[in-house]
Each structure stands twice: as C-alpha cells, then as structure tokens.
Structure 1
Amino acid sequence: MGRRSDHTRPELREMIVSEGHRQISEVGFARFSAREVAKRIGYTIGTLYNVFGSYDQLLLAINGRTLDLWLANLERHLEGVEQGRLEAAIRAYFEFAIAHRHAWTALYDFRLSEGEEMPEVQRAKVEAITGVIIREITDELPAERSADAPELARSLLATVHGHCFFALNGTFALLGETDPVARALDRVEDALAAYR
C-alpha cells in the first residue's frame, strides 16, 4: 500500500483511536491487532507508529478513550441523584463494565513495557474516576473522618472491582452467587459502618 497523506495528524490520531477502540471493544485485548486497525482505516502500520510512537502509546490512547467514556457514564448516572449516590456509582461501575466488557478488561489486561512510564494525561483520567468515588465516600463519612476518604475509596474500589470481575468471568456463578451487585453494596456498607 502506498503512502497516504489524506488526513492531518489530529485527524489520523482520532481515526486510529476510534477504530482501535471499536476493535478492542469487539475482540478484546488478547486479539487486538494494530495491523488490523491500520488496514481498516486504509493506512500502513508505520503510520500508527509514526502518530503514536509505540504500541504502548497506542494502547494507552485507546484505553484513555475507555476511561473518558467510563467517567462520562459515571457522572451521567449521578446527575440529579440526591439520595443513594454511592450506590448509584457502584451500580454504574457494574453497568459500564458489562456494557463495555472487552474495553473495560483491556484497562487491566494491558501492561506498559518495562521502563515506560504512565503519561500524566492517562494518570489524570484514572484519578478523575477515583476522584468521583472519593467525593461520594467523603459525603458518606462524618466530617471528622473525611481525611480517610481517599484511602477508603481505593480499598472500596478494589472490593467493587473484584465483585465486578468475578461477575464477568463467571466465578460468582460457579460459587452460586446470584446478585454480585448486592454483595458489593453489602461490603461497601460494612466498611462505611466501621468508619461511622
């Protein structure tokens, strides 16, 4: 295939990320192919590496799109909710993971190559999602315990994530658990009760 120059660099970046996100959402991280992304948008694999610099940076950009969608989904679920906001956030966590199963698991399946550092923009996207949870947990705690919210949020995110992952991979079904969301909510309430 000959060299093309039909698009600007920002246009190329958007095309690549959009197609990459579509593909990873469809086939998952293990079957993701940068070469297939290039083929689908009508460019060479070299163009992808020219735009992103490396496979890792390409995957970070695709995962960044998932994080953006996740944050928007979370905020949308919380919009206008007066009572039970933390529960709404937890339910949104499960709903997003189920609706975007492959893209969501790609966030955790992908590892940066040794020596590569997480770009600040990617770190900020993760912190934005965590920040929503910290905000909601802070509102659930007595004022004198609000300083504990960040540490508690990380722990509760791990709890909810574990329940969600077990629900998606079938482990809970094997264990006979029929309502993993309710069990995650129970564990969160147990932890909050201890802090109250």
Structure 2
Amino acid sequence: MGRRSDHSRADLEALIVAEAHRHMAEVGFARFSAREVAKRIGYSVGTLYNVFGSLNRLLLAVNARTLTLWTEAIEAALAAAPDDRLATLVASYFAFAEAHPQSWSAIYAHRSPPGETLPEWYARALARLLGLVDGEVAAALPPHRRGEAARLARSLLATVHGHCTFAIDGTFALLGERDPMDAVLARIREAIAGPAAS
C-alpha cells in the first residue's frame, strides 16, 4: 500500500500539497478526499497525517497554495495593465475565480476547528494577498482618507466576492445583470470617492 521512503520530508510535503491542490481543483471542497490524494501519490493516508498532523492542516496548505497563486496572478495582471489599477484588481479577481472555481471556493468553504490558530505560513499567504488589496485601495484614496484603507478594503473585497459569486453561480443572469464586473467597479469607485463626491 505505502511505497518506499524515496522522498525527504520537505519533498514529500511538496508532493502531497501539489497533488492535493490538483484534486481540490477537480472535485471541490465537499468531495475532497485525503485518501484519494494518498492513493494518487502512492503513499498511505497515514503518511499525509504524519506530515501535516491533521486534515485541517492539509486543507490549509492547499488553500495557502491557492492564495499564493492568486496573489501572483493579481500581481502579474497589475504589472501588465497598470493604468486603471482598481479595474485590473476587480478583473483579476473574477478571472482567477472563473479559471479556478473549485480551488477559489475552497478558501471560503473551509473553517478550522474552534480554538485552532492559523499556522504562520497560512497567515503569511493570506496577509500577502490582503496587503496587496490594501495597498491598491490606499493608493486610490486621497491622503486624508488613507487611514481607512484596510477597513474599506475588507468591505470592498466582500462586495467583489458577492458579485463574483453571483456571476459564477448564475444568480446575476437570473436577475438580469449582464455586467457584474462593471457593476461592482462602480460601487468601488463610489466608495473610494466618498460621500463628498456624490
């Protein structure tokens, strides 16, 4: 069942995460199986738990990989189209979610058990993504409002997420909204402009 130990612990961790990430992308969070991942790489499921300690930690590792890939995709999009950075930020959110729906939704579907703190490597991956969004929101705000950037960025992220979710699951089509990206970008510009502009 298990195979020879021909990988170092670091190599084995990378192998498991890569295969688990592929599996998540194929079947989604609800149908994710550590046993299937173990089968695919030729190790026992016990090996996965020995390396990660729990299914929760394995799922966090998969989601951390998604967060990293997502951040890199946004960074690349901003580098390629730097003129309207807010529009690029929104478009790259939608593009990543549409290209990787199962992995993207798994970030939001998974919850760690109560009382379990996030590992430092996961917190770092999440902070990198949020820091990127915070920075773009801060740069778009007038200097006297930049103290609001982090809080506003969280609210805008929720707004973009809601629009993106409705676009992907077909709700917006049902409601007759034909351009959810344009709609959410308008809400973002209104929030950035602030009450004085309206």
TM-score by length of 2: 0.95
State the partner residue of 1:156: 156
| Distance in 1 separating the partners of 2:80 and 2:113 | 41
State the partner residue of 1:74: 74
| Per-residue deviation, 1:114 | 2.0
TM-aligned CA distance change 1:2 to 1:62, over 3 Å: closer
Worse overlay, 166-175 or 49-58: 166-175
SS of residue in 1 equivalent to 2:76? helix
1:17-56 equivalence runs, <5 A: 17-56=17-56
| Distance in 2 separating the partners of 1:145 and 1:104 | 31
TM-aligned CA distance change 1:53 to 1:194, over 3 Å: same
Paired-residue identity, %: 53
State the partner residue of 1:13: 13
SS of residue in 2 equivalent to 1:43? coil
| Distance in 2 separating the partners of 1:109 and 1:161 | 13
SS of residue in 2 equivalent to 1:178? coil
State the partner residue of 1:89: 89
State the partner residue of 2:58: 58
Worse overlay, 26-35 or 108-117: 108-117
**1:81-133 deviation line (CA, Å, top 9, x unaligned):** 34211110110000001001000000001111122111122112112111111
SS of residue in 1 equivalent to 2:194? helix
State the partner residue of 2:98: 98
State the partner residue of 1:194: 194
TM-score by length of 1: 0.96
Alignment coverage as a number of residue pairs: 196
TM-aligned CA distance change 1:141 to 1:47, over 3 Å: same
| Distance in 1 separating the partners of 2:99 and 2:135 | 24
| Distance in 1 separating the partners of 2:82 and 2:40 | 45
Amino acid at match of 1:63: N
State the partner residue of 1:128: 128
Q: Unmatched 5+ residue regions in structure 2?
A: none
State the partner residue of 2:179: 179
CA-based RMSD = 1.2
**1:140-160 deviation line (CA, Å, top 9, x unaligned):** 111111111111111101100
